[in-house]
Structure 1
């Protein structure tokens, strides 16, 4: 057993584990995911000619729905718009 000097903090006191912060972060992430899903569903309901005007297709929206990891839905749609602009 190690003894601590009066001015030292224990290892657990310096850790960043805070259940309240974790819960708040989870709630914020869940809300952001919900907003993203609502926006992608709204895009999928647009007419094909409006999607063409935006430079995306329905398959791009499907790809954005399935984006995981470092690829965000915005990145997928921006890449689709850039490809469309080059044509």
Structure 2
């Protein structure tokens, strides 16, 4: 057991974790995820010709919706557009 000297704060007392801020940050993350999901779903409603104009396919959108392992939906769609531009 460690003893503290008078005037020293414990590690827990020195942390700046605010549960209210954490809750607000969580709500912001949920809201952003919902906005991304809505945008991707609206892309799925476009016809193939418009998607081709954008340089993506419906399969690319599906891949973007399932993006994980450090990849974001934007990264997936950007890579798909780059592949399409090279063709």
TM-score (norm 2): 0.90
Structure 1 36/59 Cα, relative in aligned 2: closer, same or farther at 3 Å?
A: same
RMSD: 1.3
Deviation by residue 1:16-61 (Cα, 9 ceiling, x = unmatched): 4321122111101000000001100110001110000000000000
The runs of 5 or more residues in structure 2 that have no matched partner are none
TM-score (norm 1): 0.90
Q: Are positions 1:75 and 2:75 aligned together?
A: yes
The runs of 5 or more residues in structure 1 that have no matched partner are none
Runs of 4+ off more than 4 Å = none
